[in-house]
Amino acid sequence: MTGLGSVTPIGADAPSTWRAAVAGESGIDFIRSFDASEFPVRVAAEVKDFDPTQVASPKAARRLDRNVLLSLGAAQEAVADAGLGGAYLSIVGAGTFTPFMTQGQGFMAIVIAMLARGKPLWVVAGSFLFGNGRSAMRTANPGASTLPNSATNPG
């Protein structure tokens, strides 16, 4: 698949992101997605004006991590840009996600499913390789901590 898709702090799609980047625009602004008044830093590069119901059902949008929804938005744009028509991901529509199931790793599941092109053995192989890589990384660096889900999904 060759297609462009992006959902960024400077643009909701690839063309607007490119225009803003060329114009030198910054996506950094005051944090609006949660009350940051208790933190020493009150600015960030947040994605604004993103409607998760454009990429998932309202129920799934409430359950999925924000980073997964942003990834779905970019993936759907890339699929459309590649000229694959209605070949959108149906993982969300199938209702197979549960809250916090992905722990921020949902994008890898989407990538593996897309690359496997519906072949179950390739999905298993890709998942196995990714899982073993994550396990090896954690074994090699046991003291590393991961961010809690609430840090990346304040809503």
Residue 10 in this model has a pLDDT that exceeds 90: yes
- Distance set, CA 61 to CA 76, 118, 151 (Å): 15, 24, 18
In this structure, are residues 1 and 79 in contact, taking their beta carbons and an 8 Å threshold? yes
Query: Which residues make Cβ contacts (< 8 Å) with residue 126, sequence separation at least 6?
Result: 112, 115, 116
Rounded Cα gap, residues 10 and 140, in angstroms: 36
Domain ranges of the chain: 51-152
Helices in the chain by DSSP H: which ranges? 14-22, 58-63, 66-81, 106-116, 120-140, 149-152
Tokens at 117, concatenated: 């092109």
Rounded Cα gap, residues 112 and 123, in angstroms: 6
Question: 50-54, 95-99, 113-117, 143-147 — which one is most confidently predicted on average?
Answer: 50-54
Residue 92 in this model has a pLDDT that exceeds 70: no
Residue 69 in this model has a pLDDT that exceeds 70: yes
Taking the whole predicted model, whether its pTM rises above 0.85 is answered as no
For the chain, give the mean pLDDT: 74
